[in-house]
Chain A
Amino acid sequence: MKVTVKVNGVERTADVESRLLLVHLIREVLGLTGTHIGCDTTHCGACTVLLDGTPVKSCTMFGVQADGREITTVEGLATNGQLDAVQEAFKEEHGLQCGFCTPAMMLVGASLLERNPDPTEDDVRWAISGNICRCTGYMNIVKAIQTAARAKAAASEPASV
């Protein structure tokens, strides 16, 4: 079946089997390997991507279902070589250890900040509760997302005269 998706702002078309999972479409057909496959059973969230801005587990959706929709993967977070606030904060706060869950954690964090620009620690923990960090580095992941929130707030404040 023919599938056309807008991935990180670029329209891509592929001819795929209907049983191909979205995560395989992204990784193997479109060549974007920043999206990871962890448990492959809808538990770990490592394969999370944004579908029209909403986090979904791409191992639990078929590629053909994404036809006509917009997908953001971790490769789409940075713009013009400039890291997104969430990426910058993960670097600053040591928000990653082995890095396997990181692409998903950052996408979920970015999506949370779109809806809730000033999340409490509880809000962040709730938002990432569908994503497992097997290094158990949650403290710094939570800190990183909150740091990103502060950085974004500071950046959007009007410059003082």
Chain B
Amino acid sequence: MLPASFEYHRASSLEEALDLLSTFGEGAKVLAGGQSLIPLMKLRFASPEHLVDVNHIAGLDGIAEADGVLRIGSLVRHNALAASDVIGARYPTIAAAAPQVADPIVRNLGTIGGSLAHADPAGDLGSVMLALGASVVLRSTRGERTLPMSEFLVDTFETAISADEILTEIRVPAPSARAGGTYLKLERKVGDFATVGVAVYLVLSNGTIERAGIGLTGVGLKNIEPEQAEAALAGAEPTEERFAEAARLAAEASHPASDVRGSAEYKRHMVDIYVRRGLSTAFDSARAA
């Protein structure tokens, strides 16, 4: 399949890339890993006139924790995310999700920033970042702004990013207390989109839940943060009954559609099961932290 013609621009600095986007506006698209954009272009769902290749911009692929914030550069490939020591040691929700994105070869090119900006409701990392309370940094020639994930994700394939902005960094609050988490993904085979995915994050303090974050994949028009389920956990004792109640609320907040991967009823049931299971795993890892 041949995409529509476009002009290719290899940006060597962030400033150059931002200038190009500012010049071309809606006619331009940022090319990072290309693992979602190129298939869309081949299917002619997207036909940008200009592609701004950001792969050669230095400094966008770092992973570092400092001053209570984990900063992940938007060009970090999924396999680099999965191999990161700091993430493996302190961010179990990301560590569990990264090796489950697509397949190992796609993960060699696909980037975290591209995945989030693509805003596929079946994308795994959007749910992870909702659960962790992360935010994204958006840069343009006009300046820089930071948006929480919940505001960044607008609708299916739609985010709050402007045509002249580049997502440069993801900021995740560092776990301050005893924290745990995981990502559970139901898929028919490696490389398939999630039938259902659930990201869970728990922070414990003096035997109670200080904060709970949950993100749901593939069961709505975008990644869903079931706020009532989170609220039911905050300040509560971490008991089986409480986890079951939160799971029920999360399933209620999901809006799955019936398709080849399963019926809406089945998917909603799996949200319930996976949230319960995820909370229990997150609790165990938080206690061990």
Contacts and interface: CB of A to CB of B under 8 A. Distances in A.
B68 interface: no
A56 B8 contact: no
B38 A60 contact: yes
Nearest to A1: B8
A88 interface: no
Given A60-B35, A65-B53, A129-B190, A17 B5 contact: yes
A159 B214 CA distance: 58
Which of A40, A42, A45, A57 counts the most B-chain CB atoms under 10 A from its CB?
A42
B51 A18 contact: yes
A60 B3 CA distance: 11
Contact of A54 (B4, B5, B38, B108): B108
B48 to A, nearest CB: 11
Contacts of B55: 65
B6 A19 contact: yes
B103 A45 contact: yes
A19 B105 CA distance: 21
Interface in A1-42: 1, 17-19, 21, 40-42
Given A41-B39, A45-B103, A19 B53 contact: no
Interface in B1-20: 1-8, 10
B35 A62 contact: no
Interface of B: 1-8, 10, 31, 34-35, 38-39, 41-42, 51, 53, 55, 102-106, 108-109, 190-191
20 contacts: A1-B8, A19-B4, A19-B41, A21-B42, A41-B39, A45-B103, A45-B105, A55-B108, A57-B106, A60-B34, A60-B38, A60-B106, A61-B34, A62-B8, A62-B34, A62-B38, A65-B34, A126-B104, A130-B103, A130-B105
